[in-house]
Amino acid sequence: MNRAERLARLLRVLAAIIVEPGLNPLELADRAGVSERTLRRDLAQLRDLGYEVAYTSGYEVQEKLNLEGRGGRRPRGRGEDALLQAVAQAVETAGLWRDPEPGEPAAPRRAKARRSGSAPIVLIPTGEDDADFIYATGFSVEAGLYVRYGEKDDVLIVSPLEVDRARVQSRVPNIREDHEAYLHESWARLAARLIIERGIAEARVSPNLRAVHLEDLRASGVEAQVVRDLFAAERRRKTADEAAAIQEAQSAAESAVVEVVRALAHAEIRDGILWSNGGPLTSEHLYARAQFSLGEKGFTCPSMIIAGSPGSALPHYRGDGPIKANAPVIIDIFPTSRRNHYNGDLTRTVVVGEIGEDVRLMHAAVVQALDAGIESIAPGVPGKEAHLSVCHVLVDRGFGTKTAGYEGPDGVAKMNHSTGHGVGLEVHEGPGLRATADDPLAEGDVVTVEPGLYLAGLGGVRVEDTGMVTRRGFKNFTTLTRSLDPRDYL
């Protein structure tokens, strides 16, 4: 950049201050079309030229400028301000300093990258249940920033509201507060400043990162790379503590299922509908009982499924209204710990009243398929093997699936989903047990096995256990009966 261009840029900075006084540094940099780092250099040059500049990197600190310069003693008039703007405009018109085309963002001024190992990890939570953020920090928070520069070199930044809780709950030793980033939701710009101050111009981010934060990082001069499998391998292989947390969640799920089934078992049948306490027994009432049971143990499951028939033919139908007798009721509860955020996942199907032969056959096939899927699980075995084992049993029993080669005859109940998925800080995470899962299972994986059969107009049957892959095979965390008869749960 030649001297004329540099002077033109300084004029643009001064003009931006005159047009809109009281801007904070980030706003001023945006108005002047420069990066915050370039703005700092420009203001330093203005000081050298005799303008009194008071500037820090705080987000609320305003520039306090004496625009009279080194020899100025008299107040400036409005005409001189206009003249300064006119000079800046003339220099720009001459082509010495051009803005980007209209509608295009200013190209970020990137710091010279200092490559020493992997780029820093930047995490900004999408909310309190952001699994990657919780995994990295041991802390759940709605808004904040985590930067990992390297091994044992990381920082967690939160608002003053959360800093004391972070110091108690987080695993990160270096915890700071930043009121301005919280007020202005400028976590990404704060991350960029911290990274650039270390002479680094790149970062790795989670696929959970919101697009607005990704754009802010890149606009601030940081080359942000979305790492799709960030923490994927680490989160898959559960430690003993993590496995215990999931097993605790599974136990809470069992208690909640028993609470629901107990209410079903004690209900009366009137005109094909279940009644309790003088009125129809509804999915909503059962949901409330299950949530109360979970809440007493420190868990919650807002999206649980308690689905009567025929709606239970839709695997993700959550249930509403009165429960019909003599038809399957699917109870799928996947609680999250309010303390450590680990999940369980459990499904059972019961019938109150007469169990029809078609439902009995569906249930027998599903339970047999569940056992076959569990038996096929071992370290080194691809996840698809469990799914194909399940499909094979269902077709052998006269039913079908949506998996190629295992479609079964037309008009029969079919399974239209995968066999299972990983469980951890998210109720659905890797690895998957589906037809396309070629990756081998490994010790420490925690997965569900949940075959199901569904027939429109009749309903569905699904039975699900959750457990861990060990060197001896599948360690089942589930102890609850799989019976169709509610009385067997009491």
DSSP state letters, 94-114: TTSS-PPSTTPPPPP-PPPP-
Instruction: Please name each of the domains of the chain with its CATH number.
Output: 3-93 (1.10.10), 121-230 (3.40.350.10), 236-489 (3.90.230.10)
Tokens coding 437: 């899962």
pLDDT at residue 118, rounded to an integer: 85
To the question of pTM greater than 0.85 for the whole model, the response is no
Which of helix, strand or coil describes residue 362?
Answer: helix
Contact call for residues 233 and 442 (beta carbons, < 8 A): no
How does pLDDT run along the chain (490 residues), one tens digit per residue?
556 667 777 777 777 776 666 666 667 777 777 776 677 777 767 666 666 555 443 333 334 444 444 444 444 444 444 555 555 555 555 554 444 444 444 444 444 444 434 899 999 999 999 999 999 999 999 999 999 999 999 999 999 999 999 999 999 999 999 999 999 999 999 999 999 999 999 999 999 999 999 999 999 999 999 999 999 999 999 999 999 999 999 999 999 999 999 999 999 999 999 999 999 999 999 999 999 999 999 999 999 999 999 999 999 999 999 999 999 999 999 999 999 999 999 999 999 999 999 999 999 999 999 999 999 999 999 999 999 999 999 999 999 999 999 999 999 999 999 999 999 999 999 999 999 999 999 999 999 999 999 999 999 999 999 999 999 999 999 999 999 999 999 9
- CA–CA dist 26, 304 (Å, integer): 45
pLDDT at residue 273, rounded to an integer: 98
DSSP 8-state assignment for residue 458: T
- CA–CA dist 232, 235 (Å, integer): 5
Candidates 80, 486, 4, 11; CA nearest to 286 is 486
The string of DSSP codes covering 160-172 is: TTTHHHHHHH-S-
Tell how strand 202-205 and strand 121-123 pair up.
parallel
Any residues with CB less than 8 A from the CB of 356 and at least 6 apart, and which? Answer: 326
Question: Torsion over CA of 256, 351, 451 and 400, rounded to 10 degrees?
Answer: -160
